[in-house]
Structure 1
Amino acid sequence: MRQQSEQPDRSLPIWALLILVMVLVGMAMPIQSRVNTALAAEIGSATLAATISFLTGLLVMIVVTTTTSTGRRAVRRVRPALRSGQVRWWYLLAGCVGAYFVLTQTLTVGFIGVAVFSVAVITGQTVGGLLWDRIGLGPAGRKMISPFRVLGAILTLVAVAWTVSPHLTAAGRGVDWLILVLLPAAAGFLNSGQQALNGRQAAAYGPVPTTLINFLTGSTVLLAVWGIQAVATGIGPALSPVWWHYLGGPLGIVFIGAGAVLVAKVGVLVTAMGMIAGQLVGSLVLEVVVPTAGSIVAFATVAGTGLTLVAVVLASLPDIRRSRAQP
Structure 2
Amino acid sequence: MRSLVSAIFDPMIRVLLIATGLAVILPATGDARGVVQTISNFAIFVLFLVNGMRIARADIFKGFTNWHFFLPLGIWVFGVMAMAGLGFSMLAQNGLPPLIALGFLYLGTLPSTIQSATSYTTIAGGNVALSVIGAALINIAGVFITAPLFGFLGGGAVADTGPDVIVRIALLLVLPFVIGQAVQGWTFDWIKQRRDRIVWLDRIVIAIAVYVAFSGAVEQGIGRDLSLTGMAWLVGLTIAFLLVANAGAWLASAALGLKLGDRIAFLFAGSQKSVAIGAPLAALLFPPEAAGFVIAPLLLYHLLQLMIAAPVSSRLASLARN
Question: TM-score under structure 1 normalisation?
Answer: 0.31
Query: Please, what TM-score do these two structures have when normalized by structure 2?
Result: 0.31
